[in-house]
Amino acid sequence: YASVVDNTTEAYIDSSTVSALGDASDVYTIPVWDDEGVESTETLSGLAVIASSTETMYLASASVGFGDTAGVGMNLAPTVVTDVTHAFIQDTDVNGAAAGGDVVVRSHQDTFLFVLLIGFGGSTGARSTAAIGLAAGGIFVTNDTQAWISDTDPDASTGGGRSQIHAGGKLEVSTSTTTELNSTTAGIGRSRNFAGAGSVNFLRLDNTNRAMISEVDAFSGGDLTIAAVDHVDLFTIAGGLTAGKASAGGTFLVMTNENVTEAILVNAATIAAGTTTVRADSNSIIDGNAAAGAVGLKGAFNAVATIYVGRTETRAIIEGDTRQAQVNQDSDYDATGQTVEVN
């Protein structure tokens, strides 16, 4: 069998003017996620744009072939998951000068997959000739998780100039992606003569995780935070076991982990009374296990191959392109608590 999930989740404000004049009496609860994707809540007064997607799947299957002369059990099961999760404010003015509450743009994606595949072939009768068990699984996960505040046409003559974002409290643009994949495949063959077993397990993960403020003028009466956090946990087992007069077993395990995690402030002018933070954090835990066992009275053969390919790009950036990026450059907003952290 094959399992396919294709999901798009968006929360946004586009081409608008918004007043979110929250104060201490206008408080509500919103979700927040730590660096490992654990959810909790916080209170907010102002504007929140939050997109959140969670995929949780438990998949198990077994194929059994048993016969007097021959038995073949074959289990082939690919799993494909694609998620696009975007939260943004675009081409929009939020609040007026020295007005408004918090402004939060937050995108979250969490994928948890547990897959168990077993293929068993058996033939133990008096006329037994061969038995083969094969299990082959593939997990292919693609996540595109982004949050941004931007102006797509900052030219004053055509787009009315750069959007103005005012937060009386904190201003935050953040993304959180957590991916946990657990996969086990096992091929088993048992025969009085020839027994063969094979196990193939393929995991491919491709994550894009980006938080960005671009082409706007942004003001915060508290902290200004741009944060992108990506956490990956891959665990896989591939095994083959055979028993017969002659037997052969093979196991092939491949894992690829490609992640781009970026926190970017580009072509923007920002002012924050507190700390300006641009932070990108990527963490991967990889555990791959492959084994093959063969028992034969006349002969036995085993082969195991394991491949892991990892490519992680993690960037925290303040940069200018169409104009110089400016952070806390207006003397009218000088404050003793102003600091800047890029990490």
pLDDT in tens, 254-282: 999 999 999 999 999 999 999 999 999 99
Largest CA distance in the chain: 94
Q: Residue 67 has what pLDDT?
A: 82
Q: How confident is the model at residue 108 (pLDDT cuts 50, 70, 90)?
A: very high
DSSP 14-77: ES-EE-----TTS-EEEEEE-TT--EEEEEESEEEEEEEEEEEEEEEEEEEEE-SSEEEEEEEE
SS3 of 28, please? strand
Q: Residue 43 has what pLDDT?
A: 93
**pLDDT, tens only, 281-299:** 999 998 888 777 767 777 7
DSSP 237-248: EEEEEEEEEEEE
Question: Cα(211)–Cα(265) distance, rounded to whole angstroms?
Answer: 9
Mean pLDDT confidence for 197-226: 93
- The encoded tokens of residue 119 equal 């293929």
Q: How confident is the model at residue 190 (pLDDT cuts 50, 70, 90)?
A: confident
Expressed in angstroms, the distance from the first to the final Cα of the chain is 44
Mean pLDDT confidence for 155-169: 82
Q: Contact 106/50 with Cβ under 8 angstroms?
A: yes
Burial class (CB in 10 A: 0-12, 13-18, 19+), 233: middle
Question: Cα(308)–Cα(313) distance, rounded to whole angstroms?
Answer: 17
Q: Which of 113-127, 162-176, 177-191, 303-317 has the lowest mean pLDDT?
A: 113-127
Model confidence at 207: pLDDT above 70? yes
**pLDDT, tens only, 46-92:** 999 999 999 999 989 888 888 888 888 888 888 999 999 999 999 99
Mean pLDDT of the chain: 90
